[in-house]
Chains A and B, each alone.
Chain A
Amino acid sequence: MSLNRSFFVPLDSPLHRLNPLTKLTFVFAMILPAFLSLPAFAPGMAIPVLIAVFVGGVQRQYRGLLFKLILPTILFMFFMQSVFLPIGETVIFQLGRFDVTLEAMQTAFLTVSRIFVMVSSFAILLLTTHPGELMSDLTRRGLPPQFAYVIISTLQILPQMQAKAQTIISAQRSRGLDTESTFLKRVGAVVPLVGPLVFGSLVEVEERAIAIEARGFTSTRPKTSLHNVPDTNADKIIRWIFLALVILSLGGRIWLS
């Protein structure tokens, strides 16, 4: 698990220029039909998602994510579900004492395509949108600033996670802590590792608390923003189109079933 990766790719594509809320609408306009509309729809939703990758000009980064992250997971899930799901009659072939049926494979394909659409569309949002921009736009529209703070600071400390763990383990090893020999010694190493981890974080909490107080975060007066995130008429039209598509697809589900 490599955690020190920042997703955002600074480019100037039509997708980068869109308002963050529009891109968020796009994400939900892909996910909701894939999960809630007719099962036949779900694989089809992959097409607009892949088009968006090219519009955003982030093919290279997306390909990396696809091969390292998305494909291994969905292939594993497809295999597990098609072998172990105890449904269906049309046996295609047998694997050990498990029957691989047509119905199980269809269900597995549906699950996998839903996951593909969900992960990919979020990946596009993260690749083309600076998290700060997304949050300042959403705060302007009425998202509680407390919530935005939690999300933003979580994203910021992400790269620190592994670095922090590495620092602690190296520091204690340099003091002669045994982390690699017998079982009992390794269990004994728990205390000198948990201590710095938790108390180090608590010291950071205190520092942040002071910083936040000093910057007037707790003030109830209206705040101004340094960044001005543009929201054009085209954005509004695109958002309405996406909303209409979601309603149509859900309506189609009710109509046809």
Chain B
Amino acid sequence: MLENIKRDFRWITLILIPAGIVVNGAGGWLFAKLDTPFYFDTIGTIFVAVAAGPIAGALTGLLTNVIVGYFSPGYAPYWSVPLLIGLVAGICASAGMFKRWWKVLLAGLLIAVTAAVASALISARVFGGFTFNPAYFLLEEPLDKIVTALIVFVITRILPERLRIRLPCPENLEVEELIKR
């Protein structure tokens, strides 16, 4: 476990995390303005999770929530939701689910289910009421997360080679191990 954390946290990860937070914040703001059914406030989290592992992804989500939550405290109780999104996305990525487009759909669905269940549980706890909103559970959340996962997949495909080889994602680490040997 500790070995994994150390491996995930090289200096490029430290630069990716703040960049991911900006992408989350700016993306969320941008698409709230555009008024589409997408939130797109987790592109940064999922990208960092795919590029730098689950722990880095979870940290990106958590810090985004802390920052956004400070400006609108209504978000603060939901701190565990983006954390879980980053974690699940990172685990999906290390299971090789961000390599084929149809596996990405499944990964997006997994992330959406996690996010929907976690936020429903928190709403029930904080606001004392639980209202099942089918449009949110069956359409909005899966649609948003699947499209976000696809966007991240496309980004990792068309990323310039000189940048891709620097990312601490599983494929690169395998290559590094081979070189070391």
Residues of A within 8 A of B (CB): 1-3, 69-70, 73-74, 76-77, 80-81, 84-86, 104, 111, 115, 119, 122, 146, 149-150, 153-154, 157-158, 160-162, 164-165, 168-169, 179, 183, 186-187, 189-190, 193-194, 197-199, 201-202, 204-206, 208-209, 212-213, 217-218
Contacts and interface: CB of A to CB of B under 8 A. Distances in A.
Interface string B79-113: 00000000000000000000000000000000000
A150 B11 contact: no
Given A179-B34, A205-B16, A1 B29 contact: yes
A86 B29 CA distance: 35
Contacts of B34: 179, 186, 189-190, 193
Interface of B: 9, 11-12, 14-23, 25-27, 29-31, 33-36, 38, 40, 43-44, 47, 59, 63, 67-68, 70-74, 76, 126-129, 151, 155, 159, 163, 166
A169 to B, nearest CB: 6
4 pairs of A and B residues whose beta carbons are closest in the complex:
A84-B129, A85-B128, A161-B25, A165-B26
A74 B74 CA distance: 9
Given A69-B72, A194-B27, A161 B22 contact: yes
Contacts of B166: 209
Contacts of A208: 15, 19
Specify the main secondary structure of chain B where it touches its partner: helix
A162 B72 contact: no
Specify the main secondary structure of chain A where it touches its partner: helix
